[in-house]
Structure 1
Amino acid sequence: MTQIAVLTPDPTDKSYIGRWPEVLTRLTATLEGTGATVSPTPWTDHTEDASGLAAYDLILPVITWGYHRDHGRWLKACATWTEAGLPVANSASVLGWNSDKAYLARLADKGVPIPPTRWSDGVTQAELDAAFAETGSPVLIVKPTVSAGAFRTLRLSRGDALIDAPEGAAMIQPYLKSIETEGETSLLFFGGRFSHAVNKRPVPGDFRIQMQFGGLYTAVTPDAQAMALAQQVLAAIDEPLLYARIDLARDDVGAWVLMEAELIEPDFYLDHDPANGAGFAEAVKARLEA
């Protein structure tokens, strides 16, 4: 029988303990529909020795939430899995580069529109002041390039003091007002095919759209411009992907821009998928048959 491993968080990381088991339950039900046996296993058990994963026909890193808190260990794991030639999907090389949001700069170089971004090796008050002057924006977002779930993300107004700045590499962007009014839209692709889309809005007064901060999620039909941008992003990545979540928002002139291309551990929002995960199951089955 086909054996699939689903990589899960470090057991010592309690930050997502109330959420990820629900996602695992949905994924397991979908994957078992392919006739496979599904086994969850912490990714942190396989960072230096890949032998514990060698027997699996497919390894899905789709619930490795929290990897950003131990990024060096994550990169070591990706190198270990690559060297072992494990059937990881998305590939371990993709898992490595996608874990640092500096990839957005490379996509921008290929013509993908992203919000104006200032890249920093370590944000200072002087650099923040320069970003306000450069962008003319009254509000900026500051966040680490290695982050997830709004980890250490700051929303700062002109004149605010920089307190609890992210350590190390970071990005500074104008705050998009549309996040509060229209939210962010995620387009899900399985095996390169569009599956469904979800709009995510923050609660009034907040800017964080994540569910743990009260984000409101609704299934939507993306417009032609959003779909075209998502396809442009996938073409710019130009690597085989079992799954991808393309997060978009509108800039201050109403054009769609890429916020993130989530290729590691995205929530697929299968509870908002009209097909109940059938597209993901079909993509997994095709991957196994290949």
Structure 2
Amino acid sequence: MKTVLCATSEAIPKLTQDDQALIRPLADRGIQAMAAVWSDPSVPWTSADAVIIRSCWDYHLRLEDFLRWVAWLEQAGVRVWNRPSVLRWNADKIYLRGLERKGVAIVPTVWPEAGFSLADKMRDLGWEKAVVKPRVSATAYRTQVTTKKAADGGQELLDALLRGPGAMVQQFMDTVITRGEWSVVFFAGQFSHAVIKRPKAGDFRVQHDFGGSEIPTKAPDSVIEAARRAVAAVESVPLYARVDGVECDGRFLLMELELLEPALFLKSSAGAADRFAEAIEGALQSH
């Protein structure tokens, strides 16, 4: 029996309930899946047939340590999914700029540097609202919506972020509130399922931590194909991918391409865990 270690964080040592849905379909394929905290030095990582990054939702707080651990796995010859080069690329949201240059339509985004004026840029671009967020972030960490009239508050956060790993500013898309945000999931490059995520009343964040919810939804072909193009722009086919975006004026605009530690909503779609298990089995057999 092959062994796969599902890397998680100290706060979720037994994996999320959603990821636990993967254990049985893997066992049915002769693959033993076990949770392991990525920062635990006692874990016998090199004894596993592969390590799959799952709920490592503290990586952004310890980025250097996390990437050093990934590099150690790579140097030790441990198979890691997604691939280490993909994880490193995806850890900094500046990857969106590269995807845009490859023709992927993204939510309007600017990449500020020191001396950047949020109020001036919002005025120049005609944005009524903007989202300020770190370039290295998870679960809406240090993310704030600001308006043109209240840009000073957003500027304060922006300046603080620029003293660290960097910041990004995206146009706030009202469709997140009115229609929701798409999450489109792929395994080994193949579409699996999709959900619409919605924030709770009075908020803009769609994550569960802030009261958000998701609804299993049949995605239109246009959304699936746009999401597929985003995944196809990655250097190699990722084992798992979640494409987050919104529909605006008939186009799908990418907000984030989650290749590091995304929630995959396995329980939201019949057969999703089986499809992921099948992709893992295929990856193990092909290496």
TM-score, with length taken from structure 2: 0.91
The residue aligned with 2:181 is: 184
Q: Partners of 1:264 and 1:154 in 2: how far apart?
A: 22
C-alpha separation in 2, matches of 1:278 and 1:217: 20
Q: How many angstroms apart in 2 are the aligned matches of 1:85 and 1:240?
A: 20
Return the offset for 1:181.
0.7
Partner of 1:272: 268
Q: CA deviation at 1:20?
A: 4.5
Match of 1:80 in 2: 72
Who is 1:144 aligned against? 134
1:209 aligns with 2:201: no
How many residues matched?
279
Letter in 2 for 1:195: S
Amino acid at match of 1:118: V
CA distance in 2, matches of 1:288, 1:200: 32
TM-superposed deviation, 1:133: 1.5
Output the CA distance in 1 between the equivalents of 2:16 and 2:275.
21
In the TM superposition, what whole-angstrom CA distance separates every residue of 1:228-250 from its partner, at most 9, and x where no partner exists? 11111122113121111111112
The equivalent of 1:288 in structure 2 is 284
- Structure 2: segments with no counterpart, 5+ residues: none
Matched, 1:37 2:27: no
Gaps of 5+ in 1: none
CA displacement at 1:30 relative to structure 2: 3.4
Distance in 1 (alpha carbons) for counterparts of 2:39 and 2:95: 24
Mapped pair 1:135 → 2:135: no
Query: Identity of counterpart residues, as a percentage?
Result: 34
Q: Cα deviations across residues 12-61 of structure 1 (Å, max 9, x unaligned)?
A: xx4x68x9532342232332232212221111135xx9x93111111111
* CA distances 1:164-186 after superposition (whole Å, capped 9, x unpaired): 44523111111000000111111
- Where 1:45 maps in the other structure, the secondary structure is coil
For residue 22 of structure 2, give the secondary structure of its aligned residue in structure 1.
helix
**Which position in structure 2 is the counterpart of 1:3?**
3
Question: C-alpha separation between the residues in 1 aligned to 2:277 and 2:145?
Answer: 38
Q: Return the letter of the residue paired with 2:218.
A: T
State the Cα RMSD in Å: 2.0
Which TM-score applies when normalising by structure 1? Answer: 0.90
2:235 matched to which residue of 1?
A: 238
- Structure 1 contact 118–172 (Cα < 8 Å) conserved: yes
The 5 A counterparts of 1:251-270 are: 251=248, 253-270=249-266
Asked if the contact 2:22–2:277 (Cα under 8 Å) also holds between the matched residues in 1, the reply is no
One-letter code of the match for 2:69?
A
Secondary structure class of the residue paired with 1:240 = coil
